[in-house]
Amino acid sequence: EAQVTQNPRYLITVTGKKLTVTCSQNMNHEYMSWYRQDPGLGLRQIYYSMNVEVTDKGDVPEGYKVSRKEKRNFPLILESPSPNQTSLYFCASKYRGPSYEQYFGPGTRLTVT
């Protein structure tokens, strides 16, 4: 089954404790992306990757890191989480090109206290 998986689905952590949210897709997509969703603000892009070893900042990259060592994986790293990073996070993937649909993972609900 074609899918994007994320782990963990739910995470409660404390300020400053490094964490990683994993993302994996099995559709051989070149393009992968991370979004955060906050009430009234829609989906805002954090980082994206056009291919292996190619990553770039989205609209709200501060406080986040990513890496793309393999085509299928695109982990999101929060080196020192803060309460304003409490949010719902989605990983997504698609083929390169503006006319391809994006496939989203199930989401990770992160709470930073």
Partner 1 sequence: GQQVMQIPQYQHVQEGEDFTTYCNSSTTLSNIQWYKQRPGGHPVFLIQLVKSGEVKKQKRLTFQFGEAKKNSSLHITATQTTDVGTYFCAGGNTDKLIFGTGTRLQVFP
Site of interaction with partner 1 (CB under 8 A): 31, 35, 40-45, 48, 50, 58-59, 90, 94, 96-99, 101-107
d(CA 108, CA 92): 12
CB of 80 to partner 1, least distance (A): 27
CB of 57 to partner 1, least distance (A): 11
Cα–Cα distance list, 110 to 25, 26, 38, 55 (Å): 21, 24, 11, 23
The length of the chain, given as a count of residues: 113
- Residue 28: CB atoms within 10 A of its CB come to 10
Which CB atom, from 40 or from 62, has the smaller least distance to partner 1?
40
CB of 35 to partner 1, least distance (A): 8
